Amino acid sequence: MSRATTIASPKTAKETAMDKGGFATASISTLHPDIIQTHILSRLDCSTLASAAATCSQLNALVYQEDVWANLCRSTWPSTGSPGVHRVIQSFPNGSRSFFSDSYTIPRAITTTPGNSHMNLERTPQLIFAIDLYYREQPILSRVVETETVSEGFRRKPFRVDILEPKEAVSTPMKYTWDETARLAMVQQLRMSWIVIDAGGQRAVNLMNQSQIVFTRLTELEVRFQCKAEGAWRSGRVRFVVVERGEMQVSGGILEMEGKNGRESLVILQRALEGKRETKNQWSKRYQRELKRSEGREGWLDVVRGWCDDFLWAPHIIIFSLSFVTSMLCTSK
């Protein structure tokens, strides 16, 4: 007599987890895309987003959504949240993702120096500058400045972009201190981002300034961020004034190319916009290599200088030796 055998259906992952006394877990596919974008992807930086995109097709599709990169651009550079800049970014080939790729990388210095005739200045009739000033990695000032580049007034005069309007002041969380060491430590926590945007060419470049020089005058503090590239010093100067209870306000700021007029600066900016880029990690490694080479060259220069010193003294030593030998021979006779 045969018996019917009942085969139990396999348990679901949820039932298995509950049998083990655990909590039911849900895979990423069960979450609504809006929740993933709003509460997960919006909290990631660019490198983590790239890693997330490689995990599965669902995350890959979500990571490359325009909203994700637009949010990342605004959180990294608040100035890009202005309506005018946002519209320009939308015209880039891949929208905010293209803009982020342009602005997050560092322009690599061009060693050759072509003449101005090789550059078509007319193809960049306007430039947009997105400026952000940070203190302790928190934005304290964001501005967008537009300027035309075709007039003779722009091309002949020294290059200068005013960050603030006349008599404008912006409050900051900074507190002034009379202690010089503490004041320098405070300044070292300042950082400036200077993004140049060519709307017509759908290009952008971040002229990040890496060093700070401080000038103090009683109740004023001027901080200069500068970096040498393309044969010119790019600098951003920010002036702080001390108000009641030591609170500090930004009372002025300019961007400039020292010793360059508008035409010469436009050539430099075009080359930076069209040139090769490298990541911050690549730049750091290359900088360390160049620093070691420089130290090596300085070491060899010291050796060569030593040899030269020896050679300079050699004739005197030889003459002294010959004189001594001659005198000894004469004495022996």
Distance CA 323, CA 321 (A): 5
> Looking at residue 212, what is its pLDDT?
78
Residue 126, beta-bridge partner list: 148
- Gap between the Cα atoms of 97 and 107, Å rounded: 17
Give the three-state DSSP class for 43.
Answer: helix
| Residues in the chain where the model's pLDDT stays below 70 | 1-27, 109-118, 209-211, 228-232, 280, 283-284, 286-287, 290-291, 294-333
Nearest to 198 by CA among 209, 206, 189: 206
Query: pLDDT for 208-255, tens place per residue?
Result: 766 678 888 778 899 998 776 666 677 888 999 999 889 999 999 999
Q: What integer pLDDT is reported at residue 324 of this predicted model?
A: 53
Q: What is the pLDDT of residue 256?
A: 92
State residue 58's pLDDT score. 86
The radius of gyration computed from the CA coordinates of the chain, to the nearest angstrom, equals 31
Query: Rounded to an integer, what distance in angstroms lies between the CA atom of residue 198 and that of residue 271?
Result: 12
pLDDT for res 141:
97
Alpha helices, H only, the chain: 13-19, 33-35, 46-53, 57-63, 66-76, 83-90, 96-104, 152-156, 180-187, 262-274, 280-332
pTM: 0.75
Q: Which DSSP string corresponds to 59-94?
A: HHHHHTSHHHHHHHHHHH-GGGGSHHHHHHHHTSTT
- Which pLDDT tens digit goes with each residue over 286-321? 657 766 776 665 554 454 455 445 444 445 444 555
Q: Give the largest Cα separation in the chain, rounded.
A: 141
C-alpha–C-alpha distance, residues 106 and 283, integer Å: 7
Q: Are 226 and 155 in contact (CB under 8 A)?
A: no
Which sign, positive or negative, has the C-alpha torsion 242, 244, 246, 249? negative
Phi/psi of residue 129, nearest 5 degrees: -115, 120
